[in-house]
Chain A
Amino acid sequence: MKPRLRQALRNRWLTLAVRILLGLVFIAAALPKIGDPPAFAKAIWAYQLVPGRLLNPMALALPWLELVCGLALVLGIWVRAAGVWIAALLLSFTLALSVNLGRRHPVDCGCFGATAHRTEAERLADMRWSVLRDAGLLLLCAQLLLASAAPRKP
């Protein structure tokens, strides 16, 4: 990467904005799920990717992981560690959505809590948007990880 581009990506204000935006998105996503774990378990189940035994532990722990990491980003504590988690979560969400898009199995995203009843076509369209959104968030996350990396010795 060119040093100038690298410098621009590591801009202090850009990093601050990205950090707070990502953090807020994850806090907003976590709260409804923490409030209603059974609804989230149902949402995960609909994806048909997680074995039944892991369903409830995931539905219980995942929202708290999102909240903890989101708070860490907003407060600026352990930014790199939280960024790694958020990147991993975003990657797995994107993968889960893509697999179900691939098999044309419409699922409720469940990203920000349960949504109202929708038709299958609406759901598939929503899923495509969600994949795009997750890809965008992943780009933000990449910036964060780049900026929080220890400066390379010249």
Chain B
Amino acid sequence: MLHDSRSTSIRILALAGLALLAALLSNRLASPARRLAWAGSAVPLSPASPGPAATPRPEGIRPEPVAQEPGKGPLPHSAPSRKSPPPASIATPIPEPPSSSPVREVSRDEAWEAFQAGTPFLDARRGAEFAEGHVAGAWSTPVWEADLEDRLLSFKAARRPGSEDPIVIYCSGGDCRDSHLLAERLLRDGYFHLLVFRDGYPAWVAQGHPIEKGRP
């Protein structure tokens, strides 16, 4: 009886060891899109509560608070207007309304305006979903895949976004949190103008805005 229970415990450990070995091997052989870093994720995974990060905007970056908005929430037309190309036509630049957070959720209209202004779009969904269809010109930066860092680096190298330049991030809308996770990640890199397109790709398609298909 005693011998029996001891051999069972050894077998229990052996099964776990076997599984671990197989996991190590399969992860080594997997493609980057199907691989995970053993040590942990590239994105900060702590928050799961809905709503954008409430990190205060650093001092100095905030423009003169001309008039405090009475309510909080998304402030339409603030992001793209800053980036609109003709600088001569605007005699007195309207200061950007102070937003409480460097990560802000934006509506579909605001996302569209940002798109027309040439703001870069980051797609936080899985690489396979990106290949099936994405916002035209978007960059594939899947938060759950192992090569996120490389993809972010190539995005930064190509677009060279300044820390205050707007970046639109989207995923599949609904309760999808991937775009927020990516925003947290970019916040850590010092980007302070992150626009999370709340309704995401399904809304973009429904509006009939330009999309592309294929691999990044």
- Please report A residues at the B interface, Cβ cutoff 8 Å: 34-39, 41-42, 45-46, 48, 52-53, 55-57, 59-61, 63-65, 67-69, 72, 78, 80-82, 84-85, 117, 120, 150
Contacts and interface: CB of A to CB of B under 8 A. Distances in A.
Closest 8 CB pairs of A and B: A81-B11, A38-B144, A65-B19, A52-B45, A64-B19, A56-B36, A60-B23, A64-B23
A105 B19 CA distance: 31
Given A61-B20, A64-B20, A72 B4 contact: no
A36 B27 CA distance: 10
A52 B47 CA distance: 10
Contact of A78 (B15, B19, B48): B15
Interface in B36-76: 36-41, 44-46, 48
8 contacts: A56-B37, A56-B39, A60-B27, A65-B15, A69-B19, A72-B15, A78-B15, A84-B8
A-side binding surface: helix, strand, loop or mixed? Answer: helix
Contacts of A59: 36
B26 A34 contact: yes
B199 interface: no
Contacts, number: 94
A37 B34 contact: yes
Given A55-B45, A150-B4, A38 B19 contact: no
Contacts of B38: 56-57, 60
